[in-house]
Structure formats: C-alpha cells, structure tokens
Structure 1
Amino acid sequence: MDDVTGVTSMALEPTGGGDIVQQLNAAAVRRGWGWPTAIAAGVLGLFMMPFGLVIWILAVPVCWWLFLRDRARRTVILFYDVDGSPAAWFDSLVGVWPWLTQSKQLWREVQNGRVQTTYQHKTNAGASNLVNRLSANAGLKGPRHLATNIAVPSVTSGKSSLYFLPDRVLICDQKRYSDVSYRHLRANGYRQRFIESPARVPRDAQQVDQTWQYVNVKGGPDRRYSNNPVLPIMLYGSVDFTSPEGLDWRLQISRAEAAPAIAQALAAVPSLGE
C-alpha cells in the first residue's frame, strides 16, 4: 500500500500570494489564556470556601475579557469584495457544493495498492486495487482561525481540510496552513466502480453489479469457500485535487454525479483580472 495523501501543508509551498498564510499560522499557534485562568479560578475558589465565592465573582469579568482577547488574537479577519466574473464563478461554486454536503457519505483515500498476483485477485473479490479510506465531511464554513464575510466551501477528513476561497485554496493540517493558487489547482472528476461492504452501502449510491469475497479466475464464486458473502459493486464519484507543488487529495463521493459537477465548477475559475 502506497501513501497517496501528498505533501502536508507544512511542506507545501504557498502559491496564493499575500501574507494570509503567515497570519493564519501565527494566529493558530498563539496560546489562549481564557480557559486556563477560568480553571485556575474555579479550583482556587473550591479550596478557599467560603471566600471562594468572592474569587469566582471577581474572576468572571476577567475570564470574559480574556476569552474575547484570545478570540481576537487567534482570528484573522478577511473580507472579500468581489464582482464581475470572479464573483459569478464563486457563487456557482457555492451553488454546486450541496452535491457534497447532501451526499450521504464522503471518503478521503489515504492509501492505494495494486493487486499483483492471481491469489491476491481471487481473495480480494476480484479487485484490481485495494484502498484505505477515511471518512470526510463537506460544509460551507471556513477554518476556525479565519473570520470572513462569505460562505467557504470546505472538505475535512481527520485533521486535514481544504477551504475554497474566491482567490485560493487553503490547506490545513493540524493547525498548520498553506495555500494553492487556482492557477495551479487541478480537479479531475470521474465515476468509479467500487467493491463495497454490504453493511456500508450509502442510501444515495447506485449499485451496478455484484461479486463475491472469494472469486475464481473467471470471476464467479469460488466454491471451495462455504462462507463466501456477496459484495455489492457501487458506482461512486471521485475528485482528485492536485497541484505541481505536491497537493494530493483523492475524494470519493457516494453520489456519482457529484464528481463531474464539482470538477467542472472548479475548472471554470476565471483569472482575477477578468
């Protein structure tokens, strides 16, 4: 099995321009003092009862001020005023994003391995490739360290996220940010047959065939196995987000039609000068 997650944001060279990435990285590492102060005041108050009530009363405005200060220090404010064809394009991207948000299941492919021997082929339901996936989620909310005036199409899997802004794609891995200019982004959308577990079939996916856990060389069930469950072959959508700098996100979608719709929307991005 080979890793197919590409380089992380820590190694991905920013290409979006400006200092937004530097500001986000600085905001993400700033320590917050609101919660530590609130916990310390709560513990101290418990040990100093009945005078602890006075400590709690005095601590409330202090902690509230610290929470507001932490939020301001750990948030980058970015307001967009886009018009013309870039604005129309971004509105269209937001408009097609329900293809992802309303899909019953999204996955990110993290490992891929080629089936090489006849034995592997026969014992893996006749598959030509094996993959490892993580569940993913799509939304219209930006990263926690960014405050903006627009909806932000996003995809998150584990501690990694993509955020599609009007002028760039933000990549976040464990509170570390980088970006990719749309000039460098490639989005390839296609439909793909996938052998699925019967217990994991999404309600909005289309089954196109079936196979067995153990198959013979002709593709039929291997009669030597008494416990040989039938496996559905589903038609899923896949979108590969890549860039020359090393971005590699392989998104699998239970709604097959979603993949070409998202890829076509991203391919239609105009230059900022139009």
Structure 2
Amino acid sequence: MGFYLRTSLKAGPFRFNLSPSGLGVSAGIPGFRVGTGPRGNYIRVAGLGTTYFGSQAPVPSSRGWQPSAPPSVRPDGVIMRELSGTPVQHLVAVHPSDLVNQIRTAAQRRWMWPWLTAAIALLALVTAPYGLILAVAGVPAVLWLRQRDLARRSVVVFYQVDDTPAANYERFTGSGGFVSRVQRVWHAEAEGALHTPYQQKVNAGAGSLIRRSLGSLDLAGPPVLVTNIAVPSLHGTGRSVYFLPDRVLIRHGRHYADLPYAAINAHVQPQRFIETETPPTDAPCVGTTWQYANKSGGPDRRFKNNRQLPIMLYGRLTLTGPQGLLMVWDFSRADVAASLAESLNRMR
C-alpha cells in the first residue's frame, strides 16, 4: 500500500527490522552490529479488529476530568470562548493504551546531551589552555549521550494494515487534504460574538472575532514516534492531531491522548472571514468591507487610514468527541477541509 514507507527503522544506535519471524533489533556501528529480537511494538489492523503486541504494560491513570479553560474578556468587552475543549491530559481514559503510555513517557524525557556539551565547553574555557584536551576527549561522550537520548525519546512501532482498514487509510493518506497544495491552515483558538454597534464598527462590521494561529499539515507523525507508515498530521501552536490507522493521537505540549475513530466526529462548513493579513491566493474573495464600517456597510469617515478589507471564503473543519474534544481548523481551500472530513468519517 502507498502509506507504507520502510521495513527498517532507526532510533538512536538501535535499528529495528521487520521480518516474517517478528521484530528484530540490532545496535552498533557500520560494519559491526550486535542483534537480538523480537522487540518493540507491532500493531496489526484488519477488518476483524486490531491486534497489538507491545513491550510495556499499561499504567492506569489517576487523573480526573477537568473542564476546559473559562472564557476570557478582552479590553473592549468582547467575551472570547476558548475552542480547546477538554484539556488533552484529561482525555486519557482510566486505562490508557500501551502505545500512548510509551509515547507520553518518551515525550516527557528531556535531552541530556546539550547540558553535557555546555558543561564540557564551560570547563574547557575555565581550564584553558589545557581545556582543549578536555573538549576533544568529551566529544565521544557527547555523541554517545546524544544517541542514548534519541533512543530514550523514541517509540518504535511497525504497522501492518490489511483489508478494509487498509483501503480506508490509503484513501485517507492520499486524500486531497494531504496531497493537494493548500496554501494556509489556521488553528482557531477562541471565538467571541460582537454584540454592540461599536464592537462591530471597529471590527469591520463582523459578527464575531476569531483568535487563530498559523498551522500546517504533513505526513510526519509525532516527533517521538518512529514508524513504517505515513501519518497524516495537523499542527497548531503547541497542539497537533495525528491520524494513525487504528486511532487518533492528540498532543498538547508534551501531553498525549488517544481516541478511537468511532469517538471522533468531523464537521465541515464554509467560513466567511474578513482578512486583515495578506490573503492566500488559493481562496476565493467573495466581497469587501472596511476596517471601520458604519451601520450601512460603508466606510466610517471619522477614522483615518480606513482601508478596504477582502472577505475570503475558507473551509472550517471541526473535530468533536463525547469526552469533550473540540478542535477547530480553517483551511484556505474549502474542498481540502471537505475531503479531510469525508476521509475521517470513513475511518469510523
């Protein structure tokens, strides 16, 4: 299938290989490697269900549910409702999956080699000129520690996807959302209604305000996950969604949670947006307005430098779930958002 990338994965000094007998792992340098196996994680997704083979037992979570962030009030009186839903760390089930436990553990581990590098450099400066010998001798230690950090911050997973799930995932990874060129993606973080005439006047006559951040989409997957497949991914500021063959991973900072596709609802709708920045060229302009608009829609001439603004038509993708999940994304191409929603709902 097209979503498969490789049968050999590297994490630090370790190389994992998939063979008919299972997973094997080796470590060493080119020309000299020591191997053992099978180890790691192997997930088989087929029409009859998901089979998971791991190397670490699940750890129950004791954290309870907490509500999402309360609304915030801007200086102009506009109440902004956060579009973040339940915090990611509270979406974790009572018995989270083994895979998510390993990803969360790996993500929490910090890089140690930069600290060793800084310590060696400081000692080399303090003890100069003899510190040069210390710096040269410390290079192998830094390289070894970096490889160790890479291994400790990596979760190796081999996927085998068959039957109907393979066909659905093939369509997903090849859908318009991740193959077509969409010029811009935004993560909508908060929304607030504009009620008073003054609030609407100074906001180009809009009915609501959107706080958003620039996002992106790719097929990279989580930074700590080393896998043999392409992973469709949506990224915002400190927040990402990863679509694996058998589940959806949600990241906020270093916190991860997973949900089955059956618990994800994808909705798409057209979104008219008054653009104050340079508009993307792949989105249609459906009208214009003024930065300071009067009640009739014309320019309020009491304001200087009252520029004309384009009204763009975007596509809004909303992800919701019964556990309080809420994530909102705007795409400069509405057909890309529609393609993603269709592919997601097909994975249910």
TM-score, scaled to structure 1: 0.90
More helix by share: 1
Q: Please tell me whether residue 103 in structure 1 is matched to residue 182 in structure 2.
A: yes
The C-alpha deviation readout for 1:7-33, integer Å capped at 9, x for no partner, is 221122349963111111111222332
Partner of 2:253: 174
Q: Which of 243, 247, 269 matches 2:325?
A: 247
- Report % sequence identity: 41
CA distance in 2: counterparts of 1:94 and 1:16, whole angstroms: 29
CA distance in 2: counterparts of 1:54 and 1:62, whole angstroms: 13
Query: What are structure 2's unaligned runs of at least 5 residues?
Result: 1-79
Q: Which of 66, 71, 85 matches 1:6?
A: 85
Quote the RMSD (CA, aligned, Å). 2.1
CA distance in 2: counterparts of 1:110 and 1:100, whole angstroms: 25
- The verdict on how the C-alpha distance between 1:59 and 1:113 changes in structure 2, with shifts beyond 3 A counting, is same
Q: Please tell me whether residue 79 in structure 1 is matched to residue 158 in structure 2.
A: yes
Assess if the C-alpha contact under 8 Å between 2:178 and 2:219 holds in 1: no
Give 3-state SS (helix, strand or coil) of 1:245's partner. coil
- Which stretch has the larger CA shift, 7-16 or 31-40? 7-16
CA distance in 2: counterparts of 1:15 and 1:201, whole angstroms: 45
Partner of 2:309: 231
Query: Structure 1 residue 117: deviation in Å?
Result: 2.4
- The verdict on how the C-alpha distance between 1:141 and 1:99 changes in structure 2, with shifts beyond 3 A counting, is closer
The one-letter amino acid of 2:266's match is: A
The one-letter amino acid of 2:171's match is: S
The C-alpha deviation readout for 1:73-120, integer Å capped at 9, x for no partner, is 111111101011111111111112555772221111111111212333
Higher relative contact order (CA 8 A, sep 6+): 1
Q: Which of 240, 244, 250 matches 1:165?
A: 244
- The verdict on how the C-alpha distance between 1:49 and 1:204 changes in structure 2, with shifts beyond 3 A counting, is same
Query: What are structure 1's unaligned runs of at least 5 residues?
Result: none
Partner of 1:258: 336
More strand by share: 2
CA distance in 2: counterparts of 1:41 and 1:226, whole angstroms: 59
CA distance in 2: counterparts of 1:10 and 1:90, whole angstroms: 27
The one-letter amino acid of 1:233's match is: I
Q: How many residues align?
A: 269
